[in-house]
Chain A
Amino acid sequence: MAKARTGAIMLALPLTAFILVTFIAPLGSMFMRSLYDPLVADIMPETVAALEEWDGTGLPPEQVYALAARELERAREEKTIGKLATRLNRDTSGLRSAVMRTGRGLKRAGGPPWSETLPAINAAWGEPATWQALARTGARVTPVYYLNAVDLTFGSDGGIVRQPEERRIYTALFIKTIRVSLTITLLCLAIGYPVAYLIAHSPPRLSRLLLVLVLVPFWTSLLVRTTSWIVLLQQQGVVNDLLVRFGLIPDEQRLTMIHNMTGTLVAMTHVLLPFMILPLYSVMRGIPAVQMQAAMSLGASWPRAFYRVYLPQSLPGVGAGCLLVFILAIGYYITPALVGGQSGQLISNFIAYHIQTSLNWGLAAALGCVLFVAVLLLFLLYDRVLGLDRMKLG
């Protein structure tokens, strides 16, 4: 028995190690990235350490100024000053040019007292807010990205405050993502349930044929399916052309069905529908049709028999399908990015935006972690209510 145990462990070990390295470690590194930001502390270690002693009001003492001047000068020589400037600017707009100009100015500047020289090079050094920003961003471990991910930030007194209204994005976006995902899940359920029912209770040959009609889209590349919706729904697209040709709408009033929420909803429902139908089908297949007939022969109406006999037995499939579709929807990126326009953007689009465009990787990581925790909670909830064991993947 011990030998069998060792054998089984040895077999499972390679993939376990592989998944730990190539999948779990990346998730871990995202978590690190969301909390740990050593950039400022690495470039200006002594200044940051000295600022910890400072009470945060007024201006810091001359000694801090001297350290800052020295470390800024070094950062300029080592060409790290640009990164420092970018990071500080993300905290307070305008600090980028202040830091860069200071770096250039230090070449020509005189010497101590630095508490006069630095503000002379750039007025920002005469503002307490600049030093507060430096102290704030100097912390290696920082909750600031999580705060930003829920539209909070540090106020000037160091307390946590809400972002100014014109900069609040993410709470609204999370809510919108959940709302859209729920809508898509319900749409998939509404379309998928009858379809799965029909497939499950058709004669075998027909059932197999119908199943193929579900499996072809399931196997077809996501990009292909997204492209098709662009072809169909755009202004000069197939659907609009048909409507115009049949005189249902005038040529000048073609419908806008893409690059907006409609586009996202239609295309995502199409993409995710098989994920609803397949688990439903695999559960329904196991429900004997005779039960319904028995209930009806005992005098129950069809709706009543369905509600009392069939529906309860199909619930595991409903649960599995809804969970799958919802989780896939909540993390979808490609389809909303291509057909969503501005109103169809979801949280995943902003994660990609911060990774690829704004380069605010800490915020991208924090948003990713929040989303991950949401998905995890959903799984746990599902496990509690229905049990993951009963989930079937088609």
Chain B
Amino acid sequence: MNTIKASTRLIAALAAVIAAFPSAAQEDDFITVVSWGGSYARSSVKAYHERFVEETGIQIKLDEYNGGLAQVRAQAETGNVTWDVVDMEAGDTLLGCDEGLLETIDYETLPAAPDGTPATEDFLDVFDVDCGAKSLIYSTVYAYNDTLFPDLKPATMADFFDLGKFPGRRGMRRTPNANLEFALVADGVPADQVYEALSSEEGIARAFRKLDIIKDKVVWWEAGAQPPQMLADGEVVMSTAYNGRIFNAWALEKQPLTIVWDGQVLATGYQVIVAGTPKLELARQFVAFATSTRSLANLTKYISYGPLRRSSLALVDKHEETGIEMEPHLPNAPQNMANAVLEDPEWWADNQDEMNERFAAWLIK
């Protein structure tokens, strides 16, 4: 009697274990997508994550990050890859690709435009990296709190550095990136000669000298979600920020923020796949979906980042929730491009370490 009871229990237990397998396999039907937090992540979710889940049945686990290669490198080196797809900046994509941390992206496999133009021709001809599927163009601009400048309003990059004309504290990202470019443009260097200038010791010193002027008035931020909050709180009167975040705070939360496009630093964003992911096929599927004509165009319904496909540009329409015409708010709209710096990821990849050191030394001085 006892043996029978024991064996039935054993069989039942085994059955439970076996039954658990298919569900375990289903558990595997998700990918981890890593993106920048806050309103950008929310926009991506609405623009294409939701539709991807709906159409493929593959679930998406969303994780946040603030740039850099540390986690990707740790995962690749330990062979314990938990991130599958990352929304990455150009410089990191370049370095990660060089170091073999990222999978190569074959543009032939990305979907063609609706009119049949192959992906290889549809994407805008900006900075190519072997490991990145181009997705969007964003820019670091500065914005100000409108209510604090009732009469004279800041209009140029030079105004950001002009404490006499526009007193008050400034927000800036705690990296040398974009800040050095801003400083040179404010100091009178034409936008297209910024990196030429930065390639000499004199140019770098000039940028830091310009930054010296406002250093004591700067509040440093790290996460892209911070500047709109700092501006809204009155913690700063103007701040550098990603243009899409400012747009969202203005359009959705009705914050009185205005973007100054002069001297903006344009940069490209990529979807990359972490090398060694056990979900390579799912990841490729997601990247193809996320960089399709429709997904990139859809993103502009939620946040003002420009698509890197020509076919998506043609589809840019109105903001989903407010009905605002989006085209004028994209960083690469012609009227915003008058004095724009196009980020040079190669220069940054070569000089990032040294600039970080100098920036850190400058900060604690």
Contact = CB atoms under 8 A, between A and B. Distances in A.
B46 interface: no
Interface residues of A, number: 37
Contact of A86 (B70, B95, B346, B365): B95
A89 B70 contact: no
Nearest to B215: A342
Nearest to B73: A359
11 contacts: A79-B100, A80-B100, A82-B100, A83-B99, A86-B98, A89-B353, A93-B351, A97-B350, A169-B360, A236-B235, A359-B73
Interface string A328-355: 0000000000000111010000100001
Contacts of B70: 355-357, 359
A259 B346 contact: no
A304 to B, nearest CB: 45
Given A93-B351, A97-B346, A100-B98, A342 B363 contact: yes
Contacts of A359: 69-70, 73
Contacts of B7: none
Contacts of A90: 353
A102 to B, nearest CB: 12
B25 interface: no
B98 A356 contact: no
Given A86-B98, A173-B364, A357-B68, 14 more contacts: A79-B99, A82-B98, A82-B99, A86-B99, A96-B98, A96-B349, A96-B350, A97-B350, A167-B357, A168-B361, A172-B365, A341-B219, A342-B220, A359-B70
A166 interface: yes
B358 interface: yes
B98 A358 contact: no
Given A85-B98, A167-B358, A94 B350 contact: yes
B174 interface: yes
Given A80-B100, A166-B361, A235-B233, A342 B174 contact: yes
B364 A176 contact: yes
A81 interface: yes
A166 B362 contact: yes
Nearest to B68: A357
Interface of A: 79-83, 85-86, 89-90, 93-97, 100, 166-169, 172-173, 176, 234-236, 259, 341-343, 345, 350, 355-360
Contacts of B365: 172
Contacts of A356: 68, 70
A169 B364 contact: yes
Interface in B306-353: 346, 349-351, 353
B356 interface: yes
Main secondary structure of the interface of B (DSSP, over half): helix
Contacts of A93: 350-351, 353-354
Contacts of B220: 259, 341-342
A345 B99 contact: no
Interface of B: 68-70, 73, 95, 97-101, 174, 205, 208, 218-220, 233-235, 346, 349-351, 353-354, 356-358, 360-365
A169 B235 CA distance: 28
B350 A89 contact: yes
A172 B98 contact: no
Given A172-B364, A235-B233, A236-B233, A97 B356 contact: no
Contacts of B205: 166
Nearest to A357: B68
Contacts of B208: 166
A258 B364 CA distance: 17
Nearest to B235: A235
Given A169-B364, A176-B364, A357-B68, A82 B353 contact: no
B240 to A, nearest CB: 15
A70 to B, nearest CB: 20
A377 B194 CA distance: 49
A113 to B, nearest CB: 28
Most buried by A among B98, B218, B351: B98
A169 B350 contact: no
Contacts of B68: 356-357
Contacts of B357: 167, 169
A68 B363 CA distance: 39
A236 B101 CA distance: 43
A167 B199 CA distance: 17
Contacts of A355: 70
A100 B95 CA distance: 10
B297 to A, nearest CB: 34
A81 B100 CA distance: 9
Nearest to A85: B98
3 smallest CB-CB distances across A and B, nearest first, come from A82-B98, A82-B99, A79-B100
A19 B256 CA distance: 57
A79 B234 CA distance: 49
Contacts of A89: 350, 353
Contacts of A345: 363-364
Nearest to B174: A342
A221 B97 CA distance: 40
B291 to A, nearest CB: 24
A145 B358 CA distance: 17
B130 to A, nearest CB: 10
